[in-house]
Amino acid sequence: METRIRSAEERRNDIAAAAAAMGIDEEYISTLVDTFYERVRAHPLLGPVFEEKIGDDWGPHLARMKDFWASVALNAGRYSGKPVPKHKALTDVHPWHFDIWLGLFRSTLADTAPSPEAAVYFMERAVRIAESLKLAMYGLPGLGAPQSKGRS
Ligand code: HEM
């Protein structure tokens, strides 16, 4: 039996190979991010939230989001930001914004994903990350907001 601990590079290669079998690669991630944020910007309720933070200079945000999704989906290790404090600073964002965000992400995947498995793969990760962002922003339902939230 193989007992050797695999290197980070071997693990990354395995993950990239499994993703590639579903049709997921850097090119698809670029398409997904571009299409999703085009729809986010056009959305009457989500668009203004992003407009306020990002304005017209979307290049850096899109590049960061491609690094983020490549790290999540391919274990690319290129993203080193801190999403929790960034989202905690968005005091006009409410839990229902997440439902819209996830709905747009789901329909973008339905329209663009290279395979049904790829759509499930991204959606599962998005839901999980959205849950952890919501937990950090709003705490557990019924237990009040986390101390550091800065909301009243
Ligand atoms: C209601 C839903 C959401 C809203 C309104 C929202 C809004 C934003 C905004 C305005 C920024 C830019 C922040 C800044 O540059 O100061 C941002 C950054 C980011 N968002 Fe979200 N977001 C939402 C959900 C999500 C979800 C579900 C994910 C992941 C699956 C995500 C991942 C990220 C990441 C990785 C960044 C970059 C943070 C950094 O600067 O490193 N967001 N988001």
Which of 51, 86, 133 most suits a substitution to test ligand 1, by most atoms within 8 Å of the C-beta? 86
| Atom from ligand 1 closest to the CA of residue 83 | 38
Is the C-beta atom of 64 inside 6 A of ligand 1? yes
CA of 83 to the centre of ligand 1 (A): 6
Rounded mean pLDDT, 46-69: 96
Q: Counting beta carbons within 10 angstroms of the beta carbon of residue 89, is it exposed (0 to 12), middle (13 to 18) or buried (19 or more)? A: exposed
Q: At 86, list the tokens.
A: 């960034």
CATH number of 26-139: 1.10.490.10
| Atom from ligand 1 closest to the CA of residue 68 | 35
pTM of the full predicted structure? 0.91
**Identity of the amino acid at 134:** K
With beta carbons less than 8 A apart as the criterion, state whether 99 and 23 touch: no
Is the C-beta atom of 49 inside 6 A of ligand 1? yes
Q: Give the integer Cα–Cα distance in Å for 30 and 6.
A: 29
With beta carbons less than 8 A apart as the criterion, state whether 38 and 65 touch: no
CA of 48 to the centre of ligand 1 (A): 13
Q: Provide the 3-class DSSP secondary structure of residue 28.
A: helix
The stretches of the chain forming alpha helices (DSSP H) are 8-21, 26-42, 47-54, 58-74, 83-88, 95-112, 116-138
Q: How far is the first Cα of the chain from the last one, in angstroms, to the nearest whole number?
A: 57
Give the domain ranges of the chain.
26-139
Per-residue pLDDT reduced to its tens digit, 63-118: 999 999 999 999 988 999 999 999 999 999 999 999 999 999 999 999 999 999 99
Rounded mean pLDDT, 121-141: 95
Q: Give the integer Cα–Cα distance in Å for 117 and 45.
A: 30
